[in-house]
Structure 1
Amino acid sequence: MPRVDVDLRFLLLPSSKGCTLEKAEGECNGKYLRYYYDSIDKKCKRFLWTGCLGNGNRFFDYNMKHSVLCSDCLIFSISSDKCHLTPDEGHGSSFNFAVYYDSTKDQCSPFIYKGEGGNANRFENEAECMRNCSPNTAHAKTKPWYACLLKRTEGGCNGNCVKYYYDSRDEKCKEFIWTGCFGNGNRFHDYNSCNSTCSGVKGKNSVTVTRVFSRLCDFVNDKYST
């Protein structure tokens, strides 16, 4: 049987079980150096793949020489911990809308971030939050990402922050300048986050609002009303 390495990038989403599978050498006679993720020791380790069969816990390299990385499993194991942190508004004088993952409800909820400090359980939009934290993100990924259809919005402050948005007409992520406050859910920290969340979403740009931002008015009224 010929040796075939399948592109396993789809297994590297936070919901993937690929990182938790046991090492599998395969059933041929070859000896090919690969890496697998040991979920008990939380380390990437070498093993010899025989050249056929096996499972999704098999990677070309540990670091950045190839597109399929065992280090992505390390990132998964670290990033999954942040999703259990309580929301932290930080400190400062800013008034930025953000979302955090509520592990007790498996949903992302809004809160106000003051601009400095805080913790890693903070995302710019619901799609990015769910993709990183929800155990059901593989199922959710098949649903339309309404945030990806929102028009680019620069916000209402005076900052000059480089962010990325998804242009659903051209079906690609593009760079834009965010002013530092307000805006909408179609805003990502970097290109990869934008692309992995929105890639494949089609349609004209619309003004559809995501579920989390439809709850934002109620949140602000409850927290800041006199």
Structure 2
Amino acid sequence: MPITQLRNPAMTDPDDYDISAGEQINPLQFCSSTSTNYNTFVANGGGACTYATEPYQPENGIYIADIYDCVTVPLNNVKLAVKGIYNIHPQADGICCPNRAFTCMQPKREAKLNVKESAGVRPRWWFNSVTGICEQFMWDPWDETEVQSPNNFKTREHCESYCKDTCKRGAPEYSVGRTLNEEEPITNCQTINSCSTNFECKTNDWRQLCCPSVTSICSIAGGRPLDPSRHTNFDPGYSMKRMFNLNFEKSRRYYYDSEQGRCTSFTYNGALGNFNNFKSLSDCELFCERLQCKHGTPLKIRQVTQQCSHNSHCPSTHECQMDNKICCPKLHAICSQPLRLGNCKENIRRYWYNAVNHACQIFNYTGCQGNDNNFETLLECQNTCGNIT
């Protein structure tokens, strides 16, 4: 993957010069941007970005080069400062930092409610990889009780240019190069056949990319190469140390269990992991719910998904999806829903089916509280509702 700009805007913000600049792997891992060895852990920086648990042996190398970039930085002064204490490999020319896809899927790190703005709390922006929208939040740069999130931008424009310009969640498919740093995203795809398995053609504001499919993200692999040593349907990640000998905090997260057809909680160890990792149950359901119903979203009563074992258990607008035993909307019900712009303040290009004119039409979606007659592409709208009479 091409090297991208610094992951945390605090690194380029003169007002925040005294703030920790992101959460790189700790202990700080050096790397070689020209290395093609992504499986062997090379502690002194002679290899690519890999991770290993103690004891740090070469055979303990864990592949992380798909979520961490080797970002080239001048290391001459560093090598001189640690000479005789820690010998950095001559080929080391960078440090391992979370890449764009992994940065933009991280949850926001909000200030606690009892902290006032006068104490240093300030507005920032983060990318919501579930909705695909940059949202504002209040950030406390002095709170050291938890790990700061790299998904933190000073301006909305910075957030959108860094995160909204690519796939909503997960990394795009790349061409094959001699090294990962020489690979480029596959662009200008036209159909689903233009992309490999587990990817689908998506259009953003100015280009087409092969992005991970929802099925891929919400699978056991979670949009990453499957770790053969893992024996769970979720990826718990790792409990690694960060600055000042503090550990990344364990927390409750949610993943979509494709075998059970629903979102389930698990304990996340705080670092690494995959993209099938959501901070809340609602985020997991919102992103992965299309896997429950072929079209549209499951019927909910008071925020609880309606269970069924027969069509008679569902209203006439829905039918029982027998695999997951939930009520899913019929196509006619989806395509006859009225245009609903939503109640937020975003401006997102979407398509809806006008049942009166029998045609798919473009509209600007505000980002929340829409309905199922809301499609990301014209083709998706036509394929879903084109044969409705």
TM exceeding 0.5: no
Higher percent of residues as helix = 1
- Higher relative contact order, structure no. (Cα contacts within 8 Å, ≥ 6 residues apart): 1
Give TM-score scaled by structure 1 length. Answer: 0.36
Larger radius of gyration, structure 1 or 2? 2
Q: TM-score scaled by structure 2?
A: 0.23
